[in-house]
């Protein structure tokens, strides 16, 4: 966000973040509820490698941002500590958008564990993710 104000509460961060993420990255949130988030990202030429397929880094980027929104919606306030990915298959060259679903698996006091999946618009599962977020709102 461009302003010096940093949202202090998850609800505020969710509201501020959704439009900011759409404007900056073209990621549209299609659903956010407690502990869950869904999003999609239209693919452009800048997202594709020399073979016409989406770069794996864009899939990871989409998953990390969507998992972060699920983290916020579960009451977290912090950042990604780690992220792991399994790329399962390449997208079809005709893929027009990527779709991500993320769910909080465990919300601890300091750490939140979030799983995510990215599929193409043909319904093919492309990759699976596990993320850990640190809840910086918790005092030591």
Query: The CATH number of the domain where 123 resides is what?
Result: 3.10.129.10
Residue 39 lies in a domain: yes
Residue 4 lies in a domain: no
Residue 1 lies in a domain: no
Task: Give the DSSP letter of residue 11.
Answer: H
Tell me the average confidence (pLDDT) per consecutive run of 10 residues in the chain, 140 residues long.
Answer: 52 78 92 95 93 93 96 92 96 94 96 98 97 82
- Kind of pairing, strands 36-42 and 97-107? antiparallel
State how many domains the chain has. 1
Residue 102 lies in a domain: yes
Rounded to an integer, what distance in angstroms lies between the CA atom of residue 83 and that of residue 73?
19
Please list the alpha-helical segments (H only) found in 1-140.
10-25, 56-73
Q: In the prediction, which pLDDT does 41 show? A: 97
Rounded to an integer, what distance in angstroms lies between the CA atom of residue 89 and that of residue 129?
14
Residue 140 lies in a domain: no
Predicted TM-score (pTM) of this structure: 0.89
Q: In the prediction, which pLDDT does 12 show? A: 72
Residue 62 lies in a domain: yes
Rounded to an integer, what distance in angstroms lies between the CA atom of residue 133 and that of residue 63?
13
> pLDDT digits over 89-126, tens only?
999 889 999 999 999 999 999 999 999 999 999 999 99
Domain with 76 in it: 10-135
6: CB partners within 8 A, 6+ apart: none
Residue 2 lies in a domain: no
């Amino acid at each position: 966000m461009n302003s010096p104000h940093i949202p202090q509460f998850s609800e505020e961060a969710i509201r501020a973040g959704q439009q900011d993420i759409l404007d900056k990255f073209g990621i549209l949130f299609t659903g956010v509820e407690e502990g869950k988030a869904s999003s999609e990202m239209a693919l452009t030429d800048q997202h594709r490698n020399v073979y016409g397929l989406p770069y794996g880094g864009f899939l990871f980027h989409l998953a990390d941002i969507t998992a972060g929104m699920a983290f916020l919606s579960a009451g977290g306030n912090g950042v990604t500590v780690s992220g792991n990915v399994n790329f399962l298959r390449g997208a079809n060259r005709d893929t027009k958008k990527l779709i991500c679903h993320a769910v909080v698996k465990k919300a601890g006091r300091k750490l939140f564990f979030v799983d995510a999946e990215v599929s193409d618009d043909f319904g093919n599962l492309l990759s699976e993710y596990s993320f850990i977020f640190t809840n910086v709102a918790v005092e030591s």
